[in-house]
Structure 1
């Protein structure tokens, strides 16, 4: 496991050819997907991660300046995709992570085949 994977508590489950990345909303962690994941793992490779400052992430990695904007979270998402060598994914983001996915897809549109946004926060 790489540094980024460890820092964000990354879990990869399922065995499908298509990768689905699930990003949780502000104030939650990846456990919010526990009822959805069983429906996906037979057909998709599912990537779960925690945004910095959520769940069991290491507080030593939190940087107030970096995470004062959504770009910091987007750079984390791109680092996770890079470390896992994901060259295309369906990204499902809730709240804060919806906009994280939008920004990341602007920086690297080649990595995202679809964006699914749930209750996307405008900021």
Structure 2
């Protein structure tokens, strides 16, 4: 999952920040913010399926016809990266993806 979404982890801090971009963009929207965050935090960035450098072979129209497909991807990325607690920093439609993730796995995420 991490590779499919070009997930990256920067910084070594205790607090994990997950940066989630919106549709029509990719993780590069955070390029001016990340340098200010990595000194004290561990920053996780990823591309939603169909954005940036994600492999189009993985795109499934049925899975991504609702926000739940994107939510399941986010939860799988967090699990793969062993993220037990995090703060979401989101843009536009990804706010609902993160809200659904927080409701689905409340012990894993904090808003």
Distance in 1 between the 2:6 and 2:44 partners?
A: 10
**TM-score, with structure 2 as normaliser:** 0.98
Are residues 1:46 and 2:43 paired? yes
Consecutive unaligned residues of structure 2, counting only runs of 5 or more, are none
Consecutive unaligned residues of structure 1, counting only runs of 5 or more, are 115-123
Q: Post-superposition, which runs of at least 4 consecutive aligned residues in structure 1 deviate over 4 A?
A: none
**TM-score, with structure 1 as normaliser:** 0.89
Deviations 1:38-76 (A, max 9, x none): 110000000000000000000000000000000000000
1:94 is aligned to 91
Would you say the 8 A contact 2:6–2:53 is kept in 1? yes
Structure with more contact order per residue of length (Cα contacts < 8 Å, sep ≥ 6): 2
How many residues are aligned here?
Answer: 111
Q: RMSD across aligned C-alpha pairs, in angstroms?
A: 0.6
Query: What is the SS of the residue equivalent to 1:7?
Result: coil
The structure with the largest strand share of the pair is 1
